[in-house]
Amino acid sequence: MRLDPLALTQWSTAPLLPPEDPFYATPPGAELLAPGTVVRSRSVELALFGLVRQRIAAWQLLYRTCDLDGAPEVAVTTVLLPWGADPTRPRPLVSFQCAIDAVAPQCFPSYALRLGAQTTGSIAPLELPIVAMALRQGWAVSVPDHEGLGGRFGAAREPGYRALDGIRAALGFVPLGLTPTTPVALWGYSGGGLATAWAAELAAEYAPELTIVGAAAGSPVGDPAAAFVRLNGGWFAGFPAAFVAGLRRAYPDLDPVLDDHLDDRYRALLGEAEQRTTFALLWRFARRDVARHLREGLAGLLAEPALRRILADIEPGTRAPAAPLLVVQGVRDEVIAVADIDAHVQRYREAGATVEYLRVRRGSHLPLEFLVVPVVLAWLADRFAGHPVTSGTATVASVARDGAALRAHLGFLALVAGMVGGRPIRGAGEQV
């Protein structure tokens, strides 16, 4: 395979981080705008791991949204079309929520997907080929910074508001050629799956005018409080650290609780967590037990009324999404417990939601995100086509064993190879 020399760039061309970039600044009067109103926009170039320029039509939109309490703020989404796409051609929109899973701004998709970005340790660049697969279907894609400008990882409701307002912004952005009645689907995995679940739950109440036809949530955490306790002290203890770092930004009454219970060492480590990318967090906090840094142990911290209120607030599943859901979960997932997702799905069904639940026996947490891409694409295509869906649970050995699945995965690998070579990402049926 021959690399396109024009596809490569240098680290010295790195874009500004969001806190330093004037594009992200909130203009006066933004709070008076309707949710989803575009404040400013710009065209951007995307790259694979910041290095290989991607031929994808891309813009960033700064738009009005709100935080978990309804207070107005602005956020950014990166909106995409296949290369050479005709904006007058009708197409659906997918809102893809990345698994940001950190609070550092270099992990925000609007930065990490850009040409020249220093992406080491961020998850969003790993997910760009998945986004490209959606573009290959001819769909438009919105990739919101669903943690907001403050990196409020784990906060309740906010990811849903930001994703839904990002959809509103995309539908109103003329270069995409979309309309208010464009069919929309939601998609995300892990932390992005949790954000997708929030958006699906809130859509009917917060954005009833959107034509949301379905939501695909892979390994969507289910019970954040249980995940915190289970992952603490293990190889994935960086996730609880990032979780606490994000929650203290979203819930001001958490800091006094932490001050009463945590020693100086762990408070300093939380400061580090605010600066590190996701995989750097996992390395730094591997096998670290927060109980060693608590004056009254983990039980004493979890007994605090303020913390209990926060943990109750951040649990998804209390509202029934109006649109059907596909939930995918690994039975032996080493990060997210299948029992938590079983309970999450059950809460949805008891509330009246339609959920197709796929439990997969083989595939660890990160590989499963890529293995289920053909399943999700087919499911979303059926939703866009208006095919019916019913609730049901299926437990399968693998999603990569039959001929159709293998062909789909080979197609995915071919797409990745093309991205490495800087080839254009064109939509199905688009003119070359």
Q: Please indicate, yes or no, if residue 431 is contained in any of the structural domains.
A: no
**Per-residue model confidence (pLDDT) at position 406:** 84
Q: Please indicate, yes or no, if residue 428 is contained in any of the structural domains.
A: no
Last residue of a domain, one of 313, 330, 347: 313
Give the DSSP letter string of 290-349.
GGGGBTTHHHHHHT-HHHHHHHHHT---SS--SS-EEEEEETT-SSS-HHHHHHHHHHHH
Q: Which one of the listed residues 67, 223, 333, 340 is annotated catalytic?
A: 333
* Domain housing 253: 224-313
Same structural domain for residues 228 and 199?
A: no
Same structural domain for residues 172 and 238?
A: no
How far apart, in Å, are the Cα atoms of 324 and each of 20, 195, 217? 40, 16, 11
Q: What is the pLDDT of residues 125-154, one digit of tens each?
A: 999 999 999 999 999 999 999 999 999 999
Average pLDDT over residues 249-255: 95
Same structural domain for residues 58 and 115?
A: yes
CA–CA separation, 324 and 150 (whole Å): 31
Distance of CA 159 to the CA centre of its chain: 9
Q: What is the pLDDT of residues 55-113, one digit of tens each?
A: 999 999 999 999 999 999 999 999 999 999 999 999 999 999 999 999 999 999 999 99
Q: What is the pLDDT of residues 153-207, one digit of tens each?
A: 999 999 999 999 999 999 999 999 999 999 999 999 999 999 999 999 999 999 9
What is the chain's Cα-based Rg? 21
Q: Please indicate, yes or no, if residue 365 is contained in any of the structural domains.
A: yes
Last residue of a domain, one of 295, 313, 331: 313
Active site residue 146: no
Active site residue 12: no
Same structural domain for residues 235 and 92?
A: no
Same structural domain for residues 80 and 169?
A: yes
pTM score of the predicted model: 0.95
Last residue of a domain, one of 313, 346, 371: 313
Segment (H or E) for 214: strand 211-218
Q: What is the pLDDT of residues 296-331, one digit of tens each?
A: 888 999 999 999 999 999 999 989 999 999 999 999
Q: Which one of the listed residues 190, 223, 340, 344 is annotated catalytic?
A: 190
The count of other CB atoms within 10 Å of the CB of residue 431 is 9
**Per-residue model confidence (pLDDT) at position 61:** 98
Helices (H), 232-263: 238-250, 254-261
Same structural domain for residues 200 and 82?
A: yes
Average pLDDT over residues 390-408: 87
Strand 140-144 relative to strand 211-218, pairing: unpaired
**Per-residue model confidence (pLDDT) at position 10:** 43
Task: Give the CATH number for residue 134.
Answer: 3.40.50.1820
Active site residue 402: no
